[in-house]
Amino acid sequence: MIKLQHIVLFAVLLVTGPSVATKLFDQGLKAANTKKYSEAVICFEKVVEQEKFNVSAYYNLGNCYYRLRKYGKAIRAFEKLLKLNPRDPEVPMSLELCYNKIGPENSWTPHTGGLQRLICGVGSSTWAWLSIFISMCLGLTVFALFRLSGTPWKRLLFISALGETVLLISFVIAASSAYDYTQNDRFAIVTGKSAPTYLNDLGERSELVLSEGTKLEIIGITKTKLQVMLQNGQKALVSAEDIERI
């Protein structure tokens, strides 16, 4: 059945025509198809500013940066895409290509396990609806358990209630994990050719220089710098201007 809000939305679309983001996306595709990758990047960057969950824009943005040999920027775009669509099988391969271009000794390492990516790939809303459904089933089972407490069904209903309780807890945890995965921005990428690290807030540099594509976990904020942890566990201070959050 067609709902009133659908009719209203359709009418609005007819009046307003394609959105600004849609026009920018089309311009970006046109520029990319004619190998004007710098122009395409500008369009796709504007699209993701307006539509933060536009996976197609991130995919094309990553490809354009790759063509421009800005591999750190490409890695950041592909990491954002993987965050939005953890089950996409092509994104890890694109990330591996980027790291290989930076240096043959480099390789992509995911900051989440396969199970977490699978859970997040289902989506927090799906897990939330499953939680609601199983909670309704649990409520009915508990109601039946009290009504049929003196019958042979009691034991079966009790086991069923325990199983549904375990599922409910699991679904709630999965929904929370999937939501946190898409919302958190504690991971970042060095998108320039290199990024210096610092010994303190005064700007005194350390000997450690981070290379393009280095993945960092932001663990704290000082007065002027970000405290980060590298994948090998080493900690450092960096400037916010030298990295981009995933």
User: What string of DSSP letters covers 61-120?
Assistant: HHHHHHHTT-HHHHHHHHHHHHHH-TT-SHHHHHHHHHHHHH-TT-----SS-HHHHHHH
Residues 60-76, mean pLDDT to the nearest whole number: 97
Domain harbouring 232, CATH code: 2.30.30.40
Total residue count of the chain as it appears in this document: 246
Q: Same domain for 121 and 144? A: yes
Q: What is the pLDDT of residues 6-52, one digit of tens each?
A: 434 334 334 444 578 899 999 999 999 999 999 999 999 999 999 98
pLDDT band at 181 (very low <50, low <70, confident <90, very high): confident
Task: Compute the distance between CA of residue 111 and CA of residue 231 in angstroms, rounded to an integer.
Answer: 8
Q: Same domain for 8 and 102? A: yes
Question: Phi, psi at residue 138, to the nearest 5°?
Answer: -65, -40
143's tokens: 């109601």
pLDDT at 13: 37
Using the 3D structure, point to which of 81, 110, 139 is the last residue of a domain: 110
Q: Same domain for 85 and 98? A: yes
Q: What is the pLDDT of residues 100-110, one digit of tens each?
A: 999 877 777 77
Q: What is the pLDDT of residues 139-155, one digit of tens each?
A: 999 999 888 877 888 88
Q: What is the pLDDT of residues 191-222, one digit of tens each?
A: 999 999 999 988 899 999 999 999 999 999 99
Q: Same domain for 16 and 82? A: yes
Using the 3D structure, point to which of 88, 110, 132 is the last residue of a domain: 110
Cβ 183 vs Cβ 235: under 8 Å: no
Q: Same domain for 136 and 124? A: yes
pLDDT at 18: 57
CB atoms within 10 A of CB 106: 17
**Of 121, 166, 117, 123, which Cα lies nearest the Cα of 141?**
166
Using the 3D structure, point to which of 151, 167, 183 is the last residue of a domain: 183
* DSSP code string of 15-45: HH-S-HHHHHHHHHHHHHHTT-HHHHHHHHH
pLDDT at 20: 84
Q: Same domain for 23 and 95? A: yes
Question: Phi, psi at residue 244, to the nearest 5°?
Answer: -130, 135
Confidence check: pLDDT of 53 > 60: yes
Q: Same domain for 61 and 126? A: no
Domain that holds residue 156: 116-183
Q: Same domain for 97 and 18? A: yes
Q: Same domain for 22 and 104? A: yes
Average pLDDT, the chain: 87
Q: Same domain for 170 and 240? A: no
Sheet order of strands, 187-190 included: 205-211, 194-198, 235-238, 226-230, 215-221, 187-190, 243-245
Confidence check: pLDDT of 80 > 70: yes
| Domain total of the chain | 3
Residues 152-164, mean pLDDT to the nearest whole number: 90
At residue 184, the 3 state secondary structure works out as: coil
Q: Same domain for 14 and 85? A: yes
**Of 32, 25, 79, which Cα lies nearest the Cα of 56?**
25
Residues 168-190, mean pLDDT to the nearest whole number: 88
